[in-house]
Structure 1
Amino acid sequence: MVDFSDFDTRNYPTVDVRTGYAQWVGTYERTVEDAMDLAVLDRLTTPAWAEAARAADLGCGTGRTGAWLRTKAAPGLVLDGVDLTPEMLAVARGKAVHDSLTEADVTATGLPGGSYDLAVSSLIDEHLADLGPLYREAYRLVRPGGRFVLVGLHPYFIMAAGMPTHFTGSGGGDIAITTHIHLVSDHLTAGLAAGWTLVEMAEAVVDDAWIALKPKWEKYRSHPVSAAYVWERKALG
């Protein structure tokens, strides 16, 4: 197992996930770039977004992913969101893109099993010490033939930049949220162990578009920055 502390070059004060996102919520959507996750989701070719009748948005946060999914899905999509942080859920509730919102851990959502055509998880896996419970819960939720799409920070980028997930606190200083490194092989091991079949993977690199957003990232040009995995729960028989 790779420990983030071996790579941390920032040494920011660190808080737990619920505390961190409760404090970050006011500026979250102004500081998280769509290029990190939504642009990668846009590149995927295997998820049949418009064919999903019911979807679970795991770690739905402020509703960014849910709002994006609404632009891809059929009008009748039933979308259920789950998040650990009530302050983030309050923002998501205001967007009215979810049919239900539940305050719960993504590894134990309480949502009905085998009920979803699709589960989506965006920018949360680095906060989990162990990927196994997330992959197992997603497998429980999705029906046979359904899919689980996960997008997150690339482990290489976290290591190369030595940078945890962080935000600027009310006092002006940077605050880190507990960050873990999961290698690509960790995702494959956890997904396969849960019963999933990998059907697509995409990796995004720091390119001209990223440099335009963050000029200081020129030193990371061509480094992998985020990754997406598309898993399928094979149909019975």
Structure 2
Amino acid sequence: MDFSPFDTRHYPTLPVAEGYDEWAASYETTVFDLLDIRLFERLESVDWAAYRCAADLACGTGRTGAWLKRAGVARVDGIDLTPAMLERARARGAHDRLAQGDLAATGFESGAYDLATACLVDEHLADLRPLYREAFRLLAPGGRFVLVGYHPHFLMLGIATHFDRAPGEPVAIESHVHLTSDHVAAAHAAGFRLQEMAENLVDDDWAAVKPKWHARYRRHPASFALVWQIPA
């Protein structure tokens, strides 16, 4: 769904690769664990330490890969579109393999993974179906795909993914609104079945890291997690 009818801020908007290449230098100071990592920690259907090999799709600066390794995943391979983000992931050293490329056409071996993740990327995809098809291709029977996304509710409030080029100079990155039903349709078409869903509300923990969001959007859902499984 086109984001423009919901846009209330009208920031200059960058294409995805260009935006993340520019944002990479300050990304770690902007995106915080309450938005995404907390959802990984809250999932009940995923025994992270039981997985031998994960594909970290849109691995970014390596935050997700580092968490997966701390959680006990034995091997993590990452792919990202943006060289500047990959440079930071390499410096972090959590991944066993890193590649630059399209998360919908990774070139990784079919059926080689028992876990795939995609974190804070789905809003940048015009079509979800290629992502779900690629995750399904990568996974062995019984494998799980964990997707953490920026909540469509927040996008529909008019808040696109954005960062500050400089103080007082915000820019947005191209975004699309995907309803939960869009995810279900794309995942079912690929062959997945839903195991768990969680939504992350702006609560009092956010007051210290995002005081403006806490004051204005308390109790609103800011992000979500979906756990999909391939039937064994």
The alpha carbon displacement at 1:172 in A equals: 4.8
1:184 aligns to what? Answer: 180
Distance (whole Å) between structure 2 residues aligned to residue 210 and residue 174 of structure 1: 21
Out of 105, 120, 124, the residue aligned to residue 117 of structure 2 is 120
Worse overlay, 45-54 or 134-143: 45-54
- Write the distance in 1 (CA, Å) between the matches of 2:185 and 2:219: 26
Distance in structure 2 (CA, Å) of the matches to 1:13 and 1:171 = 15
Matches within 5 A, 1:86-235: 86-160=83-157, 162-170=158-166, 172-217=168-213, 218-235=215-232
Provide runs of 4+ in structure 1 moved above 4 Å: none
Question: How far apart are residue 214 of structure 1 and its match?
Answer: 1.6
Which position in structure 2 is the counterpart of 1:47? 46
Instruction: Tell me the distance in 2 between the aligned counterparts of 1:93 and 1:212.
Output: 30
**Partners of 1:182 and 1:110 in 2: CA distance:** 26
TM-score (norm 2): 0.97
**Gaps in structure 2 of 5+ consecutive residues:** none
User: Which whole-Å CA distance do the structure 2 matches of 1:216 and 1:170 have between them?
Assistant: 19
* Superposed CA offset, 1:189-223 (max 9, x none): 11111100100000011111123322212221111
Q: 1:19-34 counterparts in 2 under 5 A?
A: 19-34=18-33
Alpha-carbon distance between aligned partners in 1 of 2:114 and 2:231, rounded to the nearest angstrom: 12
Percent of aligned pairs sharing the same letter? 56
- The 3-state SS of whatever aligns with 1:26 is helix
| Alpha-carbon contact 2:116-2:146 (below 8 Å) kept | yes
What is the root-mean-square deviation in Å for CA atoms of aligned residues?
Answer: 1.1
Shift of 1:225: 0.8
SS state at 1:27 partner: helix
Shift in alpha-carbon separation, 1:128–1:208, aligned structure 2, 3 A: same
Report Cα offsets for 1:53-85 as digits up to 9, x if no partner: 1110000000000011111015xx121000000
Cα drift, residue 47 of structure 1: 1.2
Cα deviation 1:15-61 (Å, max 9, x = unaligned): 11110011111110011011110001100011121011111000000
Which moves more between the two structures, 60-69 or 165-174?
A: 165-174
Alignment of 1:77-92 (within 5 A): 77-92=74-89
Distance between the aligned counterparts of 2:105 and 2:168, measured in 1? Answer: 35
Separation in 2 of the partners of 1:22 and 1:125?
Answer: 17
